[in-house]
Amino acid sequence: MLFDMDGTIVDSDAVVARTWLRWSRLRGVDHAHVMRVTPGRPARETIPELAPWLSPDEQAADAAALLDLERADVDGVVATHGAHDLLRALDEWGVPWAVVTSSDRPLALVRLAAAGIAPPPVLVTISEVERAKPHPEGYLSAAGQLGVDPATTLVVEDAPAGVLAGRSAGSLVAGLRGVPGADFDVPDLPALHALLSPANGKLSVRVPS
């Protein structure tokens, strides 16, 4: 089972909004537009799209500064509803799972710690891939490290870029809170948990009709 991090197992919405609000004010970019463009994607890719008038060096500096701000701010960062219960169940069932995130590794570790989630053995961040979501590289890498066929994995996502990445990897994708493009939708992790059952170290998923 492959999880996105922010908005999926970690609720970091408040700090993400605060950080991007500071940047949007600094650069004169509409904050609402920023929050439509950035979910599920790294700043190194979205800033050039949002502020093409900046030089490449300025864009890179802004992306680095954003990461520094996010690493230093864990106020309000918690596990999403049902995350601990679902991850505990997967461990008890012997079902391997991984996290695939557009955060870099230091930020991912900071947020997982703030949420009380131990880093899984397979954690794929933007630090380890060349191509970010919506490219499937992250999910393909995670499946490979787990030793499973991507087509046999369930991806859990809350952002369009991540959904596309999971679908492109050949995985079944569960979308949270109505994110478009997923194979099926659930309102939250407890609802997803209710659709899962163990079968000899594998998962059976009852896909809603």
pLDDT digits (tens, 9 = 90+) for 179-206: 999 999 999 999 999 999 998 778 999 9
104 has catalytic annotation: no
172 backbone dihedrals φ, ψ, rounded to 5°: -80, 130
4 has catalytic annotation: yes
- Mean residue pLDDT of the chain comes to 96
Q: Rounded to whole angstroms, how far apart are CA atoms 180 and 167?
A: 12
173 backbone dihedrals φ, ψ, rounded to 5°: -120, 125
Angle between helical axes of 56-72 and 43-50 (0-180°, round to 10) = 130
In this structure, what DSSP letter does residue 197 have? E
pLDDT digits (tens, 9 = 90+) for 140-151: 999 999 999 999
Q: State the average pLDDT over residues 7-27.
A: 96
Q: State the average pLDDT over residues 11-22.
A: 95
Strand partners, 123: 99
Domain extents in the chain: 2-11+77-205, 13-72
Which of the two residues, 40 and 104, has the higher pLDDT score?
Answer: 104
Out of 4, 11, 62, 104, pick the active-site residue. 4
Start-end of H helices in 38-159 = 43-50, 56-72, 83-93, 105-114, 137-146
Out of 6, 11, 62, 104, pick the active-site residue. 6
The helix/strand/coil state of 1 is: coil
Q: What predicted TM-score, i.e. pTM, was given to this entire model?
A: 0.92
Structure tokens at 13: 């919405």
Structure tokens at 97: 């799972």
The structural architecture, per CATH, of the domain 2-11+77-205 is 3-Layer(aba) Sandwich (3.40)
